[in-house]
Chain A
Amino acid sequence: MRYEVTRANGSARVRVEGALDRTAPGRVRPVVASLLEEGVAEVRIDLGGLERFDSVALVDLLETVRAGRTCGVPVRLERAPDALREALSLVREGTRLEAGLPGRARSPLERLGEVASPSLESLRRGFFLLVEVFDSAILGPFRGEKPRADRFVREVSLVGVNAVPLVVLIFLLLGVILAMQAAAQLRQFGATVLVADLVAVSLTREIGPLLTAILVAGRSGSSSAAELGTMVVSEEVDALRQMGLHPVRVLVVPKVLAFSLAVPCLALFADAIGIVAGTAFSALALEIPTGRYLEQTYQALYGSDLTSGLVKGACFGALTGTIACAEGLGVRGGPDEVGSATTRAVVSSIFAIILADAFFTTVFHGL
């Protein structure tokens, strides 16, 4: 862009020539800005010599006119090409083109709050949903609500039965790993046979329910959150509401019940697989006869070990199911929100599982 300024009687005339577009350097606004600083009474921009222009020119000219207006100096466009005139006429008077003022800088404490408040919000949502689920699952049948047996069966098979191969594979390996670790320590005391005790107790009381719950959170918690989130986005949840159905009763209760049943069952099954793996490893590598190993296992385990594992499993399952559903139903906005809700569901579930485990351990052993 080339320009030429002529002054007469306190008013200035800027003649613009050549190209005013994104490939050419030079804009009208700085030229006029310096004229405004000089204190001219009027600016006229002659566009008769404009050969090429694009949206850059539109923005430039609109901002120039606005700059004049804020100084109280009239800025007029002359001999503008027809297309430019048409394009400018499409922009409503007073449209703001520059962005608003940047936001105030935030303190580190405020930023920490911004990170923490969604997690707290997620826990709060999960808690209220859990109350609703209990109300519906336990008191619902007394109010004559129809139990959703078919959905429950479908969910149990999705969450529990389909996870069996994965659980088998993981706990076969885990049983061997535990036995190896235990043997390495116990051999120093000549008490290799106690491998059976260690494997059995650590699996049933702790690792079985904990790891199963984490597996289920990753496998089914994520998919439940995504499923419900997608239903929200595609207005299916609204459709249910419109039919007079309660989404929590229809969708969430069967899921949470299925999680609460599937996790302890899977955990019990996982314990058995782990013990089998430990037995096999001890027979082959540690030369502990199978009969001796199983007898040792039988003596090591108390009924309370199994029940505490089952109680924990049921509780972990309920937590995972509830958090996943709360995150799924909490989706607002578009499909990309489903992805982040899924991530939040898994992360929050695992966090909640660990918290609950700490609580249980304190209750069972600390008191």
Chain B
Amino acid sequence: MSPPAEGTLLRVEGVEIAFDGNSVLRGVDLEVRRGEVLYLLGPSGCGKTTLMKCMSGLLPPSRGRVTFEGLDLHGVAEAERDRLRLRMGMAFQGGALFNSLSVLENVAFPLRERTGLPEAEILAIARLKLAMVGLADAVPLLPASLSGGMRKRAAIARALALDPEILFLDEPTTGLDPITAAGIDELVTKLNAAFVVTVVAVSHDMASARAAAHRAALLGEGRIAALARPEELERSEDPAIFEFVHRRLRSHPSEASSDLFAGEGER
């Protein structure tokens, strides 16, 4: 929560990732600016989450590198990487909350393990984080009894526990109703301002990006197909972008099929 400094916080340079010979990312270049909210958009299975896990240091790239404040995230020693991870928070898609711990204990866990703060202060910070995401009343509950939206909020609270400089959100609004999703978008905007935290979110929800993102990157065929402000993406005439943003195919399916059977009428 130091005052915002301008510049690049995290840089992805020519990252390629392949699983069992199937290349998922084919040379991604991306720059995350300090203090911004950046959405990684794209259809299911395009490698958004893979890219984000690579950016957060969980998944090493096959080629290329990720730098965090100029340090090669996957090149540094394990201990150094662990120190860098203290400055990052990640809210996983399904929450990844520890099911055996209460919501409060989940948020207190990283504080307890990674700081030397006294117990009373740890619990107070955990309660504060939960209050900030609107879960003040859910403190004693177990993750199993949370609704989908509450689970996402709890995951965000845990990711924020150590006051990270960069917050990774994996599909923060997927599977939620539009009202709950809008609540999460609003929360992301507020947290971005309150914690001066840089946010990188993976989503296929254009509405979310429009509401919360400063910039949005569209992933396609293993590369960044477009990187612009969300409203610019919406105005784009590029077919691939248009299809994703407007949820329909640019060439009408019936036209395509009439092309296919064009010869039949002449017979």
Rounded to whole Å, the gap between the CB of A86 and the closest CB of chain B is 4
Complex CA distance for A87 and B100, rounded to whole angstroms? 30
Q: A22-B115, A90-B190 are in contact. Are A83 and B136 (CB under 8 A)?
A: no
Q: Which of A40-64 touch B at CB < 8 Å?
A: 52-56, 58-59, 62-63
B142: contacting residue among A82, A86, A333, CB under 8 A: A333
Complex CA distance for A333 and B193, rounded to whole angstroms? 36
A59: contacting residue among B124, B190, B194, B196, CB under 8 A: B124
Q: Is the CB of A97 within 8 A of B195?
A: no
Q: Is the CB of A336 within 8 A of B121?
A: no
Contacts of B136 in A (CB 8 A): 92, 95-96
The segment from B5-13, B63-71, B125-133, B226-234 that touches chain A is: B125-133
Complex CA distance for A304 and B99, rounded to whole angstroms? 52
Which residues of B approach A to under 8 Å, CB–CB? 1-3, 99-100, 115, 117, 120-121, 123-125, 127-129, 131-132, 136, 142-145, 163, 190-191, 193-196
A98: contacting residue among B3, B99, B120, CB under 8 A: B120
A333: contacting residue among B2, B120, B145, CB under 8 A: B145
Q: A55-B129, A83-B193, A99-B123 are in contact. Are A336 and B100 (CB under 8 A)?
A: yes
Q: Is A91 on the interface with B (CB-CB < 8 A)?
A: yes
A55: contacting residue among B123, B128, B143, CB under 8 A: B128
Rounded to whole Å, the gap between the CB of A101 and the closest CB of chain B is 13
Complex CA distance for A90 and B192, rounded to whole angstroms? 12
Complex CA distance for A56 and B126, rounded to whole angstroms? 10
Contacts of B132 in A (CB 8 A): 87, 90-91
Q: Is the CB of A334 within 8 A of B142?
A: yes
Q: Is the CB of A59 within 8 A of B125?
A: yes
Q: Is the CB of A334 within 8 A of B121?
A: no
19 other contacts beyond A22-B117, A87-B195, A96-B136, with CB at 8 A cut-off? Answer: A21-B1, A22-B115, A54-B1, A54-B163, A59-B128, A81-B3, A83-B194, A86-B193, A87-B132, A87-B194, A90-B191, A91-B128, A95-B127, A96-B127, A97-B128, A99-B120, A333-B142, A334-B144, A336-B100
Q: Is the CB of B125 within 8 A of A56?
A: yes
Q: Is the CB of B127 within 8 A of A86?
A: no
Q: Is the CB of A83 within 8 A of B195?
A: yes
Which residues of A approach B to under 8 Å, CB–CB? 21-22, 52-56, 58-59, 62-63, 81-83, 86-87, 89-92, 95-99, 333-336
Q: A52-B1, A334-B99, A336-B100 are in contact. Are A62 and B142 (CB under 8 A)?
A: no
Contacts of A95 in B (CB 8 A): 127-128, 131, 136
Complex CA distance for A83 and B100, rounded to whole angstroms? 34
Q: Is the CB of B124 within 8 A of A53?
A: no
Contacts of B124 in A (CB 8 A): 59, 63, 97-98
Complex CA distance for A82 and B127, rounded to whole angstroms? 22
Of residues A55, A90, A92, which shows the largest number of chain B Cβ atoms within 10 Å of its Cβ? A55
Nearest B-chain residue to A86, judged by Cβ: B194
Q: Is the CB of A90 within 8 A of B3?
A: no
Q: Is the CB of B127 within 8 A of A97?
A: yes
Complex CA distance for A22 and B1, rounded to whole angstroms? 11
Q: Is the CB of A52 within 8 A of B2?
A: yes
Contacts of A81 in B (CB 8 A): 3
Q: Is the CB of A55 within 8 A of B125?
A: yes
Complex CA distance for A333 and B141, rounded to whole angstroms? 11
Contacts of A54 in B (CB 8 A): 1, 163
Q: Is the CB of B99 within 8 A of A62?
A: no
Nearest B-chain residue to A63, judged by Cβ: B124
Complex CA distance for A81 and B4, rounded to whole angstroms? 12
Contacts of B190 in A (CB 8 A): 86, 90
Complex CA distance for A334 and B142, rounded to whole angstroms? 8
Of residues B99, B128, B131, which shows the largest number of chain A Cβ atoms within 10 Å of its Cβ? B128
Q: A98-B120, A335-B99 are in contact. Are A83 and B1 (CB under 8 A)?
A: yes
Complex CA distance for A98 and B99, rounded to whole angstroms? 24
Contacts of B194 in A (CB 8 A): 83, 86-87, 89-90
Rounded to whole Å, the gap between the CB of B246 and the closest CB of chain A is 34
Could you give 9 example pairs across A and B, Cβ below 8 Å?
A: A21-B1, A55-B163, A59-B121, A63-B124, A86-B194, A87-B195, A95-B128, A334-B100, A334-B144
Complex CA distance for A2 and B240, rounded to whole angstroms? 57
